[in-house]
Amino acid sequence: MQWRRRHCCTHAAKLLYLLSLLGLLVFLVHQVWLPKLSGTPWWRGYPVVYGGTVLHTTKNKWNSSAAHAVWRFGNVPQQPFRAEATIGSSERHNGSFHRGDTSFENNLTANTSQSQEGAHNATLTHGPFPYIIDEPGKCAEDRPAPFLVLLIATEARQVEARNAIRQTWGNESVFPSLGFIRLFLLGKKEGEQGLLQQKMLESESRRHHDIIQQDFLDSYKNLTIKTLMGMNWVAMHCPKASYVMKTDSDMFVNTEYLIYKLLRPDLKPRKDYFTGNNMRGFAPNRNQNSKWYMPPELYPGDKYPTFCSGTGYVFSGDLAGKIYRTSLRVRRLHLEDVFVGICLAKLQIEPTPPPNGFLFNHWRVSYSSCKYSHLITSHGFHPNELLKYWHHLQSNKHNACISTFKERTGRAHPRRPNRDKQARLLQH
């Protein structure tokens, strides 16, 4: 009898084990494999591109923090799509842009009228918006062409972020022999607060000479205009630059790894090169309540061409002018990185995948000196955090992974020194 009871218990345990395995298999199929089999990317909750009515967040395989696994353009509340009016004036020779009505929807007809200017051999102008702050001598002809130009999208109020970048990954004095240029990209804010911010910004510009600003409304909807301003500046004033990186002011960028491991100054600069966190085969977000909503009348296609996350992408200097000229013949979209991807598709240039998928991150990677010595971008940093982690990485970069291992083993045995001390006392 006792033997039969044990036998039944054994069979019951095996049955429970098999059922748990089956449950786990069903869960994995629904969470990971099923989207792949149906042709939908496994990160289908990606808010910029997924067309579902509910936005999901998915734990990324490179990062254990699900809270930072969503592509975040900035701390902007969710809102339906609407055009953002700009406050710039038109170019003298082109009547397509007018003060107060140069929204993305109103700009659509302007792109058609500019098709002649969009030819690859056309003479570049500064674009439809006049400069308020400019640095045309930043890349003077009497200086060697820079190896890397950093274009950093920011807003006037983000003074602390800009100062932190100047002291860390955007410090121009770190690579003086290569030629390393830092530029912050800004539009203009309205109202009394905007006037106050403008005065402070102009004072900051006189001190650091690293700001370019045009007369358009600085808003999320106009981020495409801001990025095109930077590309246009490079094409006009720094056409011989080897490489350009566009990124944001809340990013951690390992510029040393970017330069010496990915781009490599010892090699001949590449042409028609574009890389970053590659987004391939994504569909427009059709959720009207989403900040990333893409109206079918603006983009009727079912899928976007391959693009790179706007949190950080790198391209060869020759593409700055090509992308800008092409942008004049393409219907403008408010999603800046998607729009740049469409321009690349028009140029028949496919973004190059990075050597590994961990280099460019549009989420925040949990910090360790080992991980951060082998990546290029991580997203979502407060200025104080940026300073803290950057200085820690610099002081540990030659033995980053060894230091991380020692820190982990030290945390695993926090009481060992006390035990050793007690043992010595007992011996005496």
Candidates 234, 253, 251; CA nearest to 243 is 234
Fold of domain 104-393? Spore Coat Polysaccharide Biosynthesis Protein SpsA; Chain A (3.90.550)
Between 124-128, 208-212, 250-254, the lowest mean confidence (pLDDT) is in: 124-128
Instruction: Report the range of poorest mean pLDDT among 26-40, 155-169, 296-310.
Output: 26-40
Q: What share of the chain is helix, strand, coil (3-state, %, to 5)?
A: 40, 15, 45
Q: Any idea which residue has 């439809």 for tokens?
A: 128
Residue 408 confidence class, pLDDT cut points 50, 70, 90 = low
* Identity of the residue numbered 411: R
- The distance in angstroms from the start CA to the end CA of the chain is 60
Note the pLDDT of residue 156.
97
Sign of torsion over alpha carbons 157, 315, 319, 326:
negative
Residue at token pair 């909807």: 221
Question: Is pLDDT of 224 > 50?
Answer: yes
Between CA 305 and CA 141 the distance in angstroms is: 36
Q: What are phi and psi of 314, to 5 degrees?
A: -125, 140
Over residues 24-39, mean pLDDT: 39
Q: What is the pLDDT of residue 70?
A: 28
- 402 versus 277: the higher-pLDDT residue is 277
Question: What residue spans of 83-222 are helical by DSSP H?
Answer: 104-113, 159-167, 191-208
CB-based contact 146:152 (threshold 8 Å): no
Hey, where are the domains in the chain?
2-68, 104-393
What is the length of the chain?
428
Is the pLDDT score of 28 beyond 70?
no
Cβ-based neighbours of 99, under 8 Å, separated by 6 or more: 87, 88, 89, 90
Prediction pTM value: 0.72
| Axis-axis angle for helices 159-167, 191-208 (nearest 10) | 20
Q: What does the alpha-carbon distance between residue 101 and residue 247 come to, in Å, rounded to a whole number? A: 28
The whole-number pLDDT of residue 181 equals 95
**CA neighbor of 156 nearest in space, from 208, 218, 207:** 218
The pLDDT confidence band at residue 405, using thresholds 50, 70 and 90, is low
Q: 180-188 and 211-217: which strand pairing?
A: parallel
Per cent of the chain over pLDDT 70 is: 67
